[in-house]
Amino acid sequence: MSPITVSRALRNPDMVSDELRQRIDGAVNKLGYVPNIAASRLASSRSHAIGVIVPTLYNVIFAEFLQALHEVLLPVGFQVIVVNSRYSIEEEENAIRTLLGQRVEAIVIVGVNHSKLARRMLIQSRIPVVEAFQIAPEPIGINVGLDQIQAGADATRFLLGHGYRRVGFVLGQRDERAVERLRGYQLAMEEAGLFDENLIFSQTGTSSIALGARVMSEIATHAQLPEAVFCIDDNLALGALQESRRIGLKVPGDIAILGFHDLEFAACASPSLSSVATQRYEMGKLAGEYALRLLNTGKPGERRTVKLDHSIVRRQSTP
């Protein structure tokens, strides 16, 4: 059969008969044939690839986001190229440069605070850009995110509303989303006339259960224990919960604990963990859908902010 027939069958299998497709698939398997993607991109001026930049591959909060992106993009013929920026401005710049060099057709990026160079590269690329997980004051293109400041304030007010006055804040690495939640916490505490810098507990390191346990161990040495703590995420909250039990503190009798993101294990912890639920899967789904829509309409420069809701799931670790 002719090369063009084979090419058509590989790109659009539904365009050829079942018998022909089976013969071509058999030859592909026998020869171990791998299409030359670079040549295909040159010939068609399309890469059929969308780049995604996340700050870490360690934290499970990005798993649902990436899963949703794959579920939206793969069925319509796009590949997803994921790059890890490692919470570094320089690494984010390198990631953008790498993806643009791969001729991706759109970029989805976690975060909204970019260097001047990164922002310039994204704008000058003239491809759809979707910023996620936060609300951008000046979005580059589409912004699908959560109001992290409001979520931090609402979580703090939830604890204040249950009569707690010494409400602590627990965090590890101060990435941009952690800093925004901290701002929300501070606003709510100042609003109540209760803000005290000594109630902010932090240790340098990647957010983890082990780090949460270490921070709680430090908290327990203070002369006056906080009545409740709002942890920057569920990993830290679970570590704080386990360490509290280990050293004999009753939760929530001696100290109440509130997490963030409502990960799957929060409901299974003992006692079960109260948390702020966020819509990570929906965020990824919308990010993928908007990227496709901009590609289809040919309007990559469209600007829009889509703010997703959050909610507080009350369980046994708070009253």
Query: Which tens digit of pLDDT belongs to each residue from 245-268?
Result: 999 999 999 999 999 999 999 999
Instruction: Tally Cβ neighbours within 10 Å of residue 308.
Output: 17
Tell me, letter by letter, the H, E, C secondary structure of 150-171: HHHHHHHHHHHCCCCCCEEEEE
Question: Which residue in this structure is represented by tokens 């006692």?
Answer: 271
Residue 34's pLDDT band, with cuts at 50, 70 and 90, is low
Query: CB of 289 within 8 A of CB of 247?
Result: no
- Crossing angle of helices 89-101 and 116-124, in 10° steps, is 20
pLDDT above 90 as % of the chain: 80
Torsional class of 55: left (φ above 0), alpha (ψ -120 to 50), beta (otherwise): alpha
What is the full DSSP assignment across 245-273?
HHTT--TTTT-EEEEEE--GGGGTSSSPP
Q: In the prediction, which pLDDT does 173 show?
A: 86
Identify the H or E element spanning 199: none
pLDDT at 235 over 70: yes
Report the first-to-last Cα separation within the chain, whole angstroms. 72
pLDDT at 36 over 70: no
- The whole-chain average pLDDT of the chain stands at 92
Q: In the prediction, which pLDDT does 26 show?
A: 81
Residue 45's pLDDT band, with cuts at 50, 70 and 90, is low
Q: How far apart (Å, rounded) are the C-alpha atoms in residues 2 and 264? A: 52
Of 17-21, 59-63, 105-109, the least confident: 17-21
Q: Which two tokens stand for residue 12?
A: 């659009």
> Cβ contacts of residue 71 below 8 Å, gap of 6+?
285, 288
Q: pLDDT, tens digit, for every residue of 132-173?
A: 999 999 999 999 999 999 999 999 999 999 999 999 999 998
pLDDT at 43 over 90: no
Domains of the chain with bracketed CATH: 3-35 (no CATH), 42-146+280-307 (3.40.50.2300), 148-277 (3.40.50.2300)
Of 42-56, 216-230, 278-292, the least confident: 42-56
Residues in the chain: 319
Q: In the prediction, which pLDDT does 21 show?
A: 80
Identify the H or E element spanning 146: strand 142-146
Torsional class of 298: left (φ above 0), alpha (ψ -120 to 50), beta (otherwise): left
Q: In the prediction, which pLDDT does 227 show?
A: 98
Q: In the prediction, which pLDDT does 24 show?
A: 81
Give CA separation, 303 vs 130, 205, 300, in Å. 9, 35, 9
